[in-house]
A and B are shown apart, each in its own frame.
Chain A
Amino acid sequence: MKIDKNTINKIARLSRIKLDDKESEDYIKDLNSILDWVEQLNEVNTENVEPLSNISSSILPKREDVSNDTNSSEEILENAPDKLEGFFAVPKVVE
């Protein structure tokens, strides 16, 4: 797999990152070298092997269904660039 200009633009758009031409070129180079390195894994035959989602053998820890009311809207909103009456205020999102 090769990363070209179109692919890098698409990834940038999905990530909401704006890249200038110089940056695009740099990322194309970087990502391609990462991919080339990972490509080596293709030499291994993985037929009939389920993808591994975790290397730990531990079991998913679970909590009891207890709610706490220690949350405060003031704390949550503290870093918000803009707020109004307890709401986050963000640039208008259409639909």
Chain B
Amino acid sequence: MNNLIKGEKYDWEMVIGLEIHAQVKSNSKLFSSSSTKFGSSPNSQVSLVDAAMPGMLPVINKYCVEQAVKTGVGLNAKINNYSVFDRKNYFYADLPQGYQISQYKYPIVGEGKVTIDFKDGTSKDIRIVRLHLEQDAGKSLHDQNPSKTYVDLNRSGVALMEIVSEPDIRTPDEAGMYISKIRSILMYLDTCDGNMQEGSLRADVNISVRKPGDEYGTRCEIKNLNSIKFIKQAINYEAKRQIEILESGGSIEQNTMLFNTSTGKTRPMRNKEEAHDYRYFPDPDLLPLEISEEEIGKIKSSIPELPDELKDKFIETYKLSNYDASVLTADKQTSDYFNETINSDPELKNHAKIVVNWITSELFSLLNKNNLDLNNSPVSPENLGQLIKLISTNEISGKIAKDVVEDMFSTGKTARQIVDEKGLQQVTDQGEIAKVIDEVIADNAKMVEQYLAGKDKLLGFFVGQAMKLTKGKANPKMLNDILKQKLNKKN
């Protein structure tokens, strides 16, 4: 695989690391009992703790701790029995405390790794440095008034997991695959809802470029990207910007950048010389967080099957390719749907590849066209299973099946009902097919002559005519065979 990008003068390699912020799925906030619900009216889910009223004390949410441990296990990471909450100090209007409670020196989760799978069947490990728990900030609206910023503290204090990767990523695509994989793991574990549009999952991207084999270059950090598309765009733009500077003899200044989603460009944040003086120190309001091996064991045993385990199982049980299996397990909805479909009839186990194709191509494209997803698919797994069984037993042809599934989609009827009502059963009667072919040969005497004279392409025309007469129901293989036989006899 060649991951290099061409500059004017040299080839360059990108070096990318991600800091992913994932909102913990919980009912209440990390240190207060306010609700975490999204989309409520402004400042309606703010306790005195979240608003940092004097004298308020934080009390940690047990479930958020468990969620972080669960996630750590899912990232194949070391869970730390001892971790500490620190204050990260900075001034901003949506941070009423004047500091964020975070974890600095002793995070709850240490080193781990996740695997990404490429289309060509290869895969790559991305190492995780750490995962720590911290508070989210409130939300600021800057564009409503020329002289005011409006602040909503509903999000203030919601638990976040910050997942930091090593700079192991080399292309924008790998970055996209990495965050998709993290998202998938979080959703299987049910520790984050993965909703990037609502900001439940967002990422800061660290990127530098170097000539292959060189030391790492100076990096820039692009803040707060909330879609995979923007992450890729921002990386591409920023890499190009850095290469242009380096090739014209300049040097990269370490900087924090913002990405403008409408222009597709990055620009440095207003230069705050002291922005990075966070003056971390252990929060005197919180004792260190200690977790026993017993508690960790208990949480581990509650963890459901994860995408990679499920992937291996699919490959083993159904002889699927690594890539097919990774597409199926990319999100829980899809693997659940596949499981239900293939288990709806014992016969289908021998046709797993057909089941995969029908889910990932036909069904996905219908769902896409109608802005639906598997959760509200009008075609249930059982019904899709029934359709695939009709194909595998040669009762209907694959081509007819494509029309049937569209009917199923719009009417909600079962495949069986539609096939029976419309009389779509495949014609597999030799005699009947032969009769139709005779008809076609008789009606197109001239063409038959031309065919026999060497115009092979006409075979397709005869097939088409015969299909038309059978309304597409003739078994294509039988039709082809009988047609060739009959024409050759004429020779």
Contacts and interface: CB of A to CB of B under 8 A. Distances in A.
Interface of A: 10, 13-14, 16, 51, 53-54, 56, 58-69, 71-73, 76-77, 82, 84-95
Contacts of A92: 142, 145-149
Interface in B125-182: 140-142, 145-153
Say whether chain B's binding surface is mostly helix, strand, loop, or mixed. loop
Contacts of A89: 145, 148-151
B312 to A, nearest CB: 33
A59, A60, A72, A95 interface centre (most CB from chain B within 10 Å): A60
B41 interface: yes
Pick the 6 closest A-B CB pairs, nearest first: A65-B63, A87-B150, A67-B28, A62-B62, A86-B42, A73-B43
Say whether chain A's binding surface is mostly helix, strand, loop, or mixed. loop
B65 interface: yes
B43 A88 contact: yes
B84 A90 contact: no
20 contacts: A54-B287, A60-B287, A60-B290, A61-B59, A63-B33, A65-B26, A66-B28, A67-B36, A69-B35, A73-B42, A76-B46, A77-B43, A85-B42, A86-B41, A89-B150, A90-B93, A92-B145, A92-B146, A92-B149, A93-B140
Given A67-B33, A95-B269, A62 B43 contact: no
A87 B151 contact: yes
Contacts of B43: 73, 76-77, 86-88
A92 B28 CA distance: 30
B383 interface: no
B394 interface: no
B289 interface: yes
A58 B287 contact: yes
Interface in B245-283: 258, 269-270, 274, 277, 279, 282
A84 B289 CA distance: 39
Contacts of B63: 64-65
Nearest to A77: B43
Nearest to B141: A87
B426 to A, nearest CB: 56
Contact of A60 (B91, B147, B270, B289): B289
Interface in B30-55: 33-36, 41-47, 51
A94 to B, nearest CB: 6
B360 interface: no
A46 to B, nearest CB: 16
Interface of B: 26-28, 33-36, 41-47, 51, 59-65, 84, 89, 91-93, 140-142, 145-153, 258, 269-270, 274, 277, 279, 282, 284, 286-290
Contacts of A93: 92-93, 140, 142, 149
Contact of B62 (A56, A64, A71, A82): A64
B155 to A, nearest CB: 13
Contact of B270 (A61, A82, A94): A94
Given A53-B282, A94-B270, A87 B62 contact: no
A87 to B, nearest CB: 4
B62 A63 contact: yes
Contacts of B42: 73, 85-87
B199 to A, nearest CB: 17
Given A86-B152, A92-B146, 14 more contacts: A61-B59, A63-B59, A63-B62, A68-B34, A68-B35, A69-B45, A71-B46, A73-B42, A76-B153, A86-B41, A90-B150, A93-B93, A94-B142, A95-B270
A64 B62 CA distance: 6
Contacts of A13: 274
Contacts of B47: 71
A8 to B, nearest CB: 14
Contacts of A67: 27-28, 33-36
Given A56-B287, A67-B34, A14 B279 contact: yes
Contact of B286 (A60, A90, A91): A60
A14 B45 CA distance: 30
